[in-house]
A and B are shown apart, each in its own frame.
Chain A
Amino acid sequence: MTATAAPAATARAVTREAYRDRLIPLLGTDPRLMCLDTDTGLFGPAHIEAAGEQYLNLGIAEHNLMGIAAGLAFGGRMPFVNTMAGFASSRALEAVKVDIAYPALPVRIMATHGGLAAGHLGPTHHALEDLAVMRTLPAMTVVVPADADATAAVVEQSLDLPGPLYVRLGRKATPAVPSDEPMVIGRAQRLREGTDVVLVGCGPYPVTACTEAADLLGEAGISAAVLNMHTLSPLDAESLCTAASGASLVVTVEEHWRSGGLGGAVCEALAERQPVRVLRIGMPDKFSDTVGGQEHLLDHYGITAARTAAAVTAALEAT
């Protein structure tokens, strides 16, 4: 198989490839595992050969993908299903809800092209609702690995997870997000200590925006903590509340519509446990109407470090 050496901590890498390159060698070690594809193109001839009968390309049929995965899981298997995030969370949602989440089956929904990763391919291929949709499903664990190392860790940890799992992945290379704390599903990573505000992100670019914004704010004398809230469900409310204790502001940053995703999850948790003002930075309430790659779109719609820092500064000045 292709080399699976962990990328250097600062190297850009493609999370969907990191997933693939971790899964393929695992298949041979665990007969429960299956890799079910919908002609995504992620798996080349060498991967398919290595996977043997544990890989199947089911064609462009996402409902069928989820149904077959459920049937296999009922029989004791652990299918990794492959499609784009927008198709997993919208087109195939009913099969995910009824056939996978309802019986709480160990299906791993590996959803590429998360957020704006499809870039110039446009809103038909963007997934800006997936986190909101998936985290409402009972039993569904929802994870957005921030980089390739985190993705490989999620694949490994998923083997011990009894219920269904949704993993949002990217399309092209995205920044590495180094952390001193290990990637553990369900446990937020504290990337920066700080006392005035808490910046909470999920996904490669939003978390990077948070750490860079913390640096910008530090130069202005504002102490910002940063959390990588890679798991949206179950949400690590305890780490969130600990970080927010004493802070006057929490800012969420995500590659998702502003409703229902990370910002929504953080608001719910804080409102119930520890009320504090929250600002949500994400995709404005609209479909993308401009052409460009992922980074262009993030910049265009203000999902950036500069915007995050400016929002914090403005909010603190207003109080």
Chain B
Amino acid sequence: MTTAGTETIGAIGDTRLGELRERATRIREHVADMCAGPEGGHLGGAYSAADIMTALYFDVMNLDPDRPDAPKRDRFVLSKGHAAVGLYATLAERGYLPVDELATYARPGSRLMGHPVRAVPGVEAATGSLGHGLALGCGFALGARLDGHDSRTFVLMGDGELQEGSVWEAAIGAASLGLDRLVAVVDRNSLQLTGDTDSIAAMEPLADRWRGFGWAVQEADGHDLATLVRALGTTPWEPGRPSVLIARTVKGRGLPFLEGRTACHYVTFSERNHAKARAVLGRSRKEDTR
């Protein structure tokens, strides 16, 4: 069921890496298209997370789009549910739903709501109210352990989301339960809706905080697909401890005219800017596959 090719986890080849990069760019293109729709979308956080979701869905996770309910599948919870456009794009690229359906995003009658809903194949849980995903992930991971299989649960959180106290309830719980098949990824793009995350609420020393809660911690460039695949693919890193990858990312990564800008949190593209974005991404795609 895994999509890993002939390469072994931890040593990804250039060809494979190029394929993954192209996937990530395609996901960004889909997101750009959705953000050119009447409602726009949370582009910035979807782009900062696009490489993480690519690594998970196209390499790391054990899954089968034809059997989204397979009992021993790995689970993914998009705790930062506002990045739904990124998840929908990823699920479409991965074969859970037709790529054409993405054009219905946020339009009347579509099942693609602004936050993920379980009506969409591959969505494990409705999310969007921040601070819920990690506890849900604990439940998934605990259930798998009680069922006696070794599936993993991946929970993708935003760094602003870590301001919710419920995250830390779940962090204590996961470590206490020794849920080492639970993997959290923090999309550390350092921006939230109105500005710089750390100037709004002090987040550092983030790695030490997680370590202090009993988690195995690694930090990585969240746009380096080889590193992401290696790090996430080799979880659990320490027996008996849940893992958290602090993925340093750039909000809006992929579109230089938006990268790192607070304004990219929510984007409704004009026709002109949509074309501009598509042109930039098109050039990236050529480089990906070169």
Q: Which residues of A contact B (CB under 8 A)?
A: 53, 56, 58-59, 61, 63-64, 66-77, 94-95, 98-99, 102-103
Contacts and interface: CB of A to CB of B under 8 A. Distances in A.
Given A68-B139, A74-B139, A95-B135, A61 B118 contact: no
Interface residues of B, number: 28
A266 to B, nearest CB: 32
A67 B143 contact: no
B233 interface: no
A269 to B, nearest CB: 30
B143 A70 contact: no
A95 B132 contact: yes
Given A64-B170, A77-B143, A71 B126 contact: no
Given A63-B166, A67-B170, A68-B139, A75 B147 contact: yes
Nearest to B143: A75
Interface in B127-151: 129, 131-132, 134-144, 146-147
A273 B118 CA distance: 36
Contact of B142 (A61, A66, A68): A68
Contacts of A73: 139
A95 B166 contact: yes
Contacts of A75: 139-140, 143-144, 147
SS class of chain A's interface: helix, strand, loop or mixed? helix
A67 B139 contact: yes
Contact of B125 (A53, A66, A68, A103): A103
Contact of A64 (B125, B143, B169): B169
Given A63-B135, A71-B143, A103-B126, 4 more contacts: A71-B136, A71-B141, A72-B142, A102-B126
Interface string B60-89: 000000000000000000000000000000
B129 A67 contact: no
7 contacts: A67-B135, A67-B138, A68-B136, A70-B125, A71-B138, A72-B143, A74-B124
A76 B143 contact: yes
Question: Ordered nearest first, which 6 A-B pairs have the shortest CB separation?
Answer: A71-B139, A67-B135, A75-B143, A61-B169, A64-B169, A68-B139
A71 B132 CA distance: 11
SS class of chain B's interface: helix, strand, loop or mixed? helix
A309 to B, nearest CB: 47
A94 B138 contact: no
Contacts of A68: 135-136, 138-139, 142, 170, 173
Contacts of B170: 61, 63-64, 67-68
Contacts of B140: 71, 74-75
A175 to B, nearest CB: 37
Contacts of A94: 129, 132
Contacts of B173: 58-59, 61, 64, 68
A69 B166 contact: no
Contact of A67 (B118, B147, B166): B166
B176 interface: yes
B172 interface: yes
Interface in B104-163: 118, 124-126, 129, 131-132, 134-144, 146-147
A94 B166 CA distance: 11
Contacts of A63: 131, 135, 165-166, 169-170
A92 to B, nearest CB: 9
Contacts of B141: 71
Given A70-B125, A102-B126, A64 B147 contact: no
Given A67-B170, A70-B125, A75-B147, A98 B137 contact: no
B166 A64 contact: yes
A67 B127 CA distance: 12
Given A53-B146, A61-B172, A76-B143, A71 B137 contact: yes
A67 B124 contact: no
A99 B128 CA distance: 11
Contacts of A77: 143, 146
Contacts of B169: 61, 63-64
A155 to B, nearest CB: 21
Nearest to A95: B132
Nearest to B153: A71
Q: Which of A59, A67, A69, A98 has the most CB of B within 10 A?
A: A67
A66 to B, nearest CB: 7
Contacts of B172: 59, 61, 64
A64 to B, nearest CB: 4
Interface string B262-278: 00000000000000000
Nearest to A57: B176
A99 B142 contact: no
A94 B131 CA distance: 10
Nearest to B127: A98
Contacts of A66: 135
Contact of A98 (B132, B139, B142, B177): B132
A71 B176 contact: no
